[in-house]
Amino acid sequence: MKKLLITVAALSVILLGTVLFITKDTGPTHPVLRAAELPPLIPTRAFYADPRSASGYVASSDGKFVSFEKASLTGRSIVVKNLVTNDEISEFPIGLGNIR
């Protein structure tokens, strides 16, 4: 009986997740909202892992290199960049997610 309840609960969660995923881009259904011109929605991940975001710039003593922290969808990393050639020399992942 316990196994049946766990199976039913798991299937319910999967079904609910599927329904929410399928209907995520559904337009408004309320008459007032349907008639309104609404701006496009901003994805939530844009607030947490904007791949263009970088912070904490530190220049080398000779001014040829800079290091900074960069965010991506897979995590944060420290990047070392050559300012003369504008090339990223190396990238070091940081955080506990990268420890194996």
- pTM greater than the 0.85 cutoff: no
| pLDDT for residue 97 | 56
66 backbone dihedrals φ, ψ, rounded to 5°: -140, 145
Model confidence pLDDT, tens digit, residues 10-59? 999 999 888 888 877 777 788 888 888 888 877 776 666 566 677 889 99
C-alpha 98/C-alpha 92 separation (Å) is 10
Domain boundaries defined on the chain: 2-38+45-95
Q: Identify whether the C-beta of residue 58 lies closer than 8 Å to the C-beta of residue 66.
A: yes
Lateral strand order in the sheet of 87-94: 54-59, 65-72, 75-82, 87-94
C-alpha 69/C-alpha 64 separation (Å) is 17
